[in-house]
Structures are given as structure tokens and as C-alpha cells.
Amino acid sequence: MNKVKDLQEEKVICSGVDALPSSIQLPCISIHKATWERKSVQERRAEILLSLGTLAQDVRSARTLSQPGCGLTLLKRLEHSINNYLYVVRLLHVEGEQEGPAVERCLGQPSKDLGLVLKYFGLLLTGKLELLIAEMAKWC
């Protein structure tokens, strides 16, 4: 399901697609192990949902400002991939879940560099999301 490597390869093929028409807020990918472990699974899930939702919204905005061509196709595929992860994470059943917990908004830096956006998206998936899934797998 992780299509980031495919998107990165496609970006290399698309010449001149590095600069986006608008900034995209990069997701927070750093994990302070002790802080992460103190959070409930619900809080971790909410944090990932917030990051993915913000990323999807910003990619959608950049896509609407893009010219037709390779870059637009790449942004469409990226948005589709992000939305797939949003859907899956929303469907994850978290034991004892009630109303969604309040999450501190972690603001990453804004960037117009598509390569950096793809890198941070990949790191969000292989970092926080994989840790969440590993924690939830213990329940099975």
C-alpha cells in the first residue's frame, strides 16, 4: 500500500516538478520515545489522522493550482494515497475509544519542494503509523 517509492521514482521521470504552486505543511515525523509511549493509542491515532488530514488538504490545494501535465498527475496520485491511509486509519478500531481525544497540533515546516513532501509522507508512514500498527497488533 505504501506508494511513496513509486511516487518518488515518478517524480524523477517528471522533469521540473520539484517546485509546487503552493506550500504544503510537512507532517511532524519526529518521535520522542518517552512522550510517544505516554500517549494513549487513541491520542497516537488522532495525531496521525491530523497529520494525514492536513497533508491531504494542502496537497489538494496545490493540485488545484497546478498546470495540467506530469506534476498534476503526480499530485493526484499522492492525494489518493494519503486519502487511502486516512480511510484505513479512521477505520482502525481502538479499544476503549470514545470521543476523539484533543491533540496538540504539531506544525511542521511549510515546503514547496515536492521531493521533501514525499520524503516526509514516507517517514510518517514508516515511523508513527508503523508504531501505531505494531502497538495495535499486540491486541490481536
**Helices 114-124 and 4-13: angle between axes, nearest 10 degrees:** 170
How confident is the model at residue 67, as a pLDDT? 85
Over the chain (140 residues), the average pLDDT of each successive run of 10 is: 78 78 91 88 91 95 89 91 93 64 73 93 92 82
- CA distances for 9 relative to 13, 98, 137, angstroms: 7, 41, 31
How confident is the model at residue 69, as a pLDDT? 85
Exposure on the CB side of residue 95, measured as CA atoms within 13 A: 7
How confident is the model at residue 91, as a pLDDT? 87
Burial class (CB in 10 A: 0-12, 13-18, 19+), 118: buried
Which cell numbers in the block locate residue 12?
524523477
Residue 33 CA to residue 68 CA, distance in Å, equals 43
How confident is the model at residue 98, as a pLDDT? 57
Angle at 56 between CA 61 and CA 74, to 5 degrees: 75
